[in-house]
């Protein structure tokens, strides 16, 4: 139904345009005829003017043959223009043709009289001239009458064209006004009809958008908009069904996800706890290794001290025996004192070395098991770390060099720093060097404002480009069969970044070596 209305509006507009164009075309043809009439009148006036001039020239030239021929030629052209031209008034066209023929007859009479006058005697010349003058006057009057008639025809043509223009203007404007009124009225009706239905659809969409899928759009008429409203109602029903289905599906999936989330949280908690236990296990294993090394280191000075004490005890017993039996001589007593002095010096050196080892072990062990910050001298502290690992390192073909200024002091967590250095050394022993290859590790440090930068270099086997992006990941190791846990560098990264407020970067080239650069924040700033 709506399509029919729109088609009717389109056809009505089309026919209105066709009718207006047709009327304008008819008017164009009419004005073309008027223009042709104007053109004919102008041509006649032009040739009539020439005819009049030739007449004067002929009278003054006394039977000039060339002018006479031009006069007849112009006459024939003028007669043809009058006969074939387009005139509004055909009767006046006929009168104009008759008057032109009359001019020709008078011109013939004038021509004959001029011939006769040229042949008569001089006594009759005066009479002949009078006759010629009278004929000439009559001829000019006839030509003047033709001019008057042409002006009348021109005026009639103008009035006719003006009447035609007024008539066609009224007709065209009337038709345009009527058709425009009809088209506008029909357009407004259709627009109002469409707008009302679309507003109902718009209201319904807002209601459905707010979640009321049970709302129905009224369908007053069975047309295109009614079909659209019907389809919209069906779509709302389907959306409501699908929404209910999706809500049930989402609820079921939410329950499943919550269950999986709880499982994942439990697994993450177990993994975190396991990782923490592994870290603590690795710390304890390192402390155990360090205890064994320190015990081995302390065994030598304690053994020397024990041997010296035993020797002093035996010598003292022997001197006491000699003294009791009265056999003690000055020479033997002096020898006894010399031996005691030598043994005491040896025991003093050995016990001092043992005490130093104990202090170092105590300092490193306490730092490993506590997270208290304290002021340290970086060079001295790293030397203590290396001293505590000497028993582990002396079995390897590995040399460690340091280049650290003795003026670098900082407030930090030394336990975390010792864990970092030990892990880097153990990581280099495990991954960078084979047991039968000599290797070198160099540790350097510089201080810039509130940060200390430590560089740990080795000339070992290096790290491949494929593995270097994973070295900080937990449990990533290429030596799992050789005892690697994959936590060493992960612990180093966490201690540097989270514990010491620093950064860490690793650069490596296969078969050239590895460089680890990390920063430590001086907490005294």
Is residue 334 situated within a structural domain?
no
Residue 319: pLDDT band (50, 70, 90) is confident
Average pLDDT score over residue span 434-458: 90
pLDDT computed for residue 231 by the predictor: 74
* pLDDT higher than threshold 90 for residue 355: no
Single residue among 162, 196, 230 that ends a domain in this structure? 196
Specify if 79 maps to a domain: yes
Task: Note the pLDDT of residue 40.
Answer: 67
Cα atoms in the Cβ-side hemisphere of radius 13 Å centred on 143: 22
Confidence band, pLDDT 50/70/90 cuts, at residue 450: very high
pLDDT band at 457 (very low <50, low <70, confident <90, very high): very high
For the stretch 167-180, pLDDT in tens is: 767 777 777 777 77
Single out the residue in 196, 220, 243 at which a domain terminates: 196
User: How many CB atoms are located within 10 Å of the residue 478 CB?
Assistant: 15
Q: Is 73 helix (H, G, I), strand (E, B) or coil?
A: helix
Q: What is the CATH number of the domain that holds 424?
A: 3.30.565.10
The whole-number pLDDT of residue 336 equals: 79
What is d(CA 294, CA 275) in angstroms, rounded to the nearest whole number?
28
- Which of 157, 180, 196 corresponds to the end of one domain? 196
Residue with tokens 């040229």: 118
Give the per-residue pLDDT at 185: 76
- Would you place residue 480 in the very low, low, confident or very high pLDDT band (cuts 50, 70, 90)? low
Segment 291-318 shows an average pLDDT of 72
Give the rounded percent of residues in the chain with a pLDDT score beyond 70. Answer: 66
pLDDT at residue 507 is higher than 90 = yes
User: Is position 288 within any domain?
Assistant: no
Work out how many domains the chain is built from and give that number: 2
The mean per-residue pLDDT over the stretch 221-234 comes to: 68
**Among 70-79, 121-130, 301-310, 426-435, where is mean pLDDT lowest?**
121-130
The CATH number assigned to the domain holding 117 equals 1.20.1420
Which pLDDT value is given to residue 86?
59
User: Which residue bears the tokens 């070395």?
Assistant: 353
Stretch (H or E) spanning 11: helix 2-61
Whether residue 497 lies inside any domain: the answer is yes
**Among 327-341, 394-408, 448-462, the least confident range:** 327-341
Confidence grade of residue 445 (pLDDT, cut at 50, 70, 90):
very high
Per-residue pLDDT, 440: 92
User: Which residues span the domain enclosing 399?
Assistant: 373-525
């Amino acid at each position: 139904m709506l399509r029919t209305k729109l088609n009717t509006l389109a056809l009505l507009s089309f026919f209105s345009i066709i009718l207006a164009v047709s009327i304008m075309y008819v008017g164009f043809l009419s004005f073309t005829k008027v223009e042709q009439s104007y053109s004919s009148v102008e041509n006649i006036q032009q040739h009539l003017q020439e005819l009049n001039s030739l007449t004067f020239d002929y009278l003054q030239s006394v039977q000039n043959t060339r002018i006479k021929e031009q006069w007849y030629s112009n006459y024939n052209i003028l007669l043809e223009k009058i006969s074939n031209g387009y005139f509004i008034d055909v009767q006046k066209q006929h009168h104009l043709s008759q008057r032109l023929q009359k001019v020709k007859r008078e011109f013939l009479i004038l021509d004959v009289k001029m011939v006769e006058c040229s042949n008569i005697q001089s006594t009759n010349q005066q009479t002949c001239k009078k006759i010629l003058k009278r004929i000439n006057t009559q001829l000019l009057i006839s030509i003047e009458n033709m001019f008057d008639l042409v002006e009348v025809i021109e005026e009639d043509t103008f009035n006719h064209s003006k009447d035609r223009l007024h008539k066609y203007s009224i007709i065209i404007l009337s038709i345009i006004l009527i058709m425009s009124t009809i088209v506008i009225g029909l357009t407004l009706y259709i627009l109002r009809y469409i707008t009302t239905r679309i507003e109902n659809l718009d209201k319904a969409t807002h209601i459905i958008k707010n979640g009321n899928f049970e709302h129905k759009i009224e369908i007053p008429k069975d047309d295109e908009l009614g079909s659209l409203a019907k389809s919209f109602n069906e779509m709302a029903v389907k959306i409501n069904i699908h929404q209910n289905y999706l809500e049930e599906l989402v609820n079921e999936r939410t329950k499943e996800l919550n269950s999986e989330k709880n499982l994942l949280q439990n697994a993450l908690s177990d993994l975190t706890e396991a990782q923490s236990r592994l870290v603590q296990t690795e710390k304890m294993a390192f402390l155990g290794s360090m205890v064994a090394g320190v015990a081995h280191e302390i065994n030598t000075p304690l053994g020397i001290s024990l041997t010296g004490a035993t020797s002093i005890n035996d010598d003292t017993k022997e001197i006491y025996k000699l003294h009791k039996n009265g056999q003690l001589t000055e020479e033997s007593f002096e020898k006894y004192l010399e031996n005691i002095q030598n043994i005491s010096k040896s025991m003093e050196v050995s016990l001092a070395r043992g005490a130093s080892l104990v202090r170092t072990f105590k300092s490193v062990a306490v730092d490993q098991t506590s997270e208290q910050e304290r002021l340290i001298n970086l060079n001295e502290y790293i030397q203590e770390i290396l001293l505590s690992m000497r028993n582990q390192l002396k079995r390897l073909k590995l040399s460690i060099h340091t280049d650290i200024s003795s003026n670098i002091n900082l407030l930090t967590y030394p336990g975390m720093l010792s864990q970092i250095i030990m892990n880097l050394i153990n990581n280099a022993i495990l991954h960078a060097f084979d047991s039968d290859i000599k290797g070198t590790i160099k540790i350097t440090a510089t201080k810039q404002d509130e940060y200390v930068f430590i560089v740990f270099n080795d000339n070992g086997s290096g790290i491949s480009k494929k593995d270097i992006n994973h070295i900080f990941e937990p449990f990533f190791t290429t030596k799992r069969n050789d005892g690697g846990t994959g936590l060493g560098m992960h612990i180093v990264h966490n201690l540097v970044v989270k514990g010491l407020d620093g950064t860490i970067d690793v650069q490596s080239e296969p078969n050239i070596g590895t460089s680890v650069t990390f920063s430590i924040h001086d907490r005294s700033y």
